[in-house]
Amino acid sequence: MRNFISYYKGINGAQKKREEVRRVLKEVGKRGNINEEIISYLPKSFQAPLRGKVEKVIVERFSISVVLNGEAYKKVTKNPRSMGFHQPGGIWNFLSGDITGYAIEEILRDIVKHGGRISGKRIKELAVGIRENAHGVTSAHEDFHSFFNGFSESGNAFSFAALNGIVDRIIGLKERKAHDIFIKIHLQDLRKSIRIFQDFGHEELLAEIASGPWDRIPSSTFATRMAEAEEKIRLLKGKDPDIDRIIDENLSYLDFSHFRERFQLAYKMMQEKAPERLNDFGVACAMFPPSQFRHIERLVDRWEKQSGKNVE
């Protein structure tokens, strides 16, 4: 019943956002220049600081992305190095007009792809498409966050305060010289609670799948989310040797590189042997979080056998 209510709220929330996007576009369309007129529809706290700072507007299905000049973006974001963010609870995404970091990453990727060499002509070719692609990918990514807001329960599922509470209880039990069985129960609780954070980046993973490209997934936003979880969990160390041991043993479950290898292996198998099921692969990733990726791997194995293709 709880899941049904969650899905209902999510679908209803996405529908309302879609209607809000249409309403704003209809009203702005009557008033002229969208880059200028969109300001009056932004949250009030954003209107004055961003007036005259909008470079362009990108319309998505469940949100509207506002591309700002570099300095204006730095004033409204919590992470000046990011390419964009979704403002929770509404339809607005804010993107940086400064794509230097993205461009450098793309050019370096191309250099590696071509064996460490790249011509001036190739750099110019890359530059032509980089700007539009950078904003297009980021906008699609943030649009997924807008869509997913109503479905997400991550605020309830992942609590660093709860982890800290378990640590405090373990230390308190030891100070009171409680029976070992009670201490072991709470240490087991700590172990399970850390492993839950394998799924801390699930929403970012789905946003990457929604915006692509597939061969780079999971990418930087998922990695950043997992690094954030690991960093906060490590802050709990240094209080007790048993707690430190549990943390060290279980942080491996949050390893980004290992999950990326598994994801890319499954994706490449789908791409080569059952490309017609790639959409199903994406749906499976939405149904099963990273901690349950083994179920997706079993599906991939089944789809590969059903496809009947043999690729060396």
Ranges of each domain in the chain: 2-148, 156-307
Q: What does the mean pLDDT of the chain come to? A: 84
Angle 22-25-30 from CA coordinates, rounded to 5°: 130
Q: Which of 78, 77, 111 minimizes the C-alpha distance to 97?
A: 77
Of the two residues 13 and 176, the one the predictor is more confident about is 176
Regarding pTM above 0.75, the answer is no
Please state, for a pLDDT cut of 70, what percent of the chain lies above it: 82
Q: Which amino acid is at 281?
A: F
Cβ atoms of residues 204 and 195 within 8 Å: no
Which tokens belong to 12? 């209803």
Distance, first Cα to last Cα, the chain: 47
pLDDT of residue 270 exceeding 70 = yes
Cα dihedral 239→245→249→254 (10° resolution): 0
Q: For residues 77, 78, 84 and 85, what is the CA-based torsion angle, rounded to 10 degrees?
A: -100
Q: Is residue 294 very low, low, confident or very high in pLDDT (cuts 50, 70, 90)?
A: very high
∠ CA 176-177-178 to the nearest 5 degrees? Answer: 90
Better-predicted residue by pLDDT, 116 or 75: 75
Write out pLDDT tens, residues 112-135.
555 656 566 655 555 556 656 778
Burial of 215 (0-12, 13-18, 19+ CB in 10 A): exposed
What is the pLDDT averaged over residues 31-37? 77
Mean pLDDT of 258-282: 91
Query: What is the per-residue DSSP string for 233-251?
Result: HHTTTTS-HHHHHHHHHHG
> Cβ contacts of residue 154 below 8 Å, gap of 6+?
200, 202, 203
Q: Which long-range contacts (CB under 8 A, 24 or more apart) does 267-271 make?
A: 267/214, 267/215, 267/217, 269/300, 269/304, 270/300, 270/303, 270/304, 271/214
User: What CA–CA distance (Å, rounded) separates 291 from 210?
Assistant: 20
Cα(285)–Cα(253) distance, integer angstroms: 18
The CA distance from 136 to 148, in Å, is 18
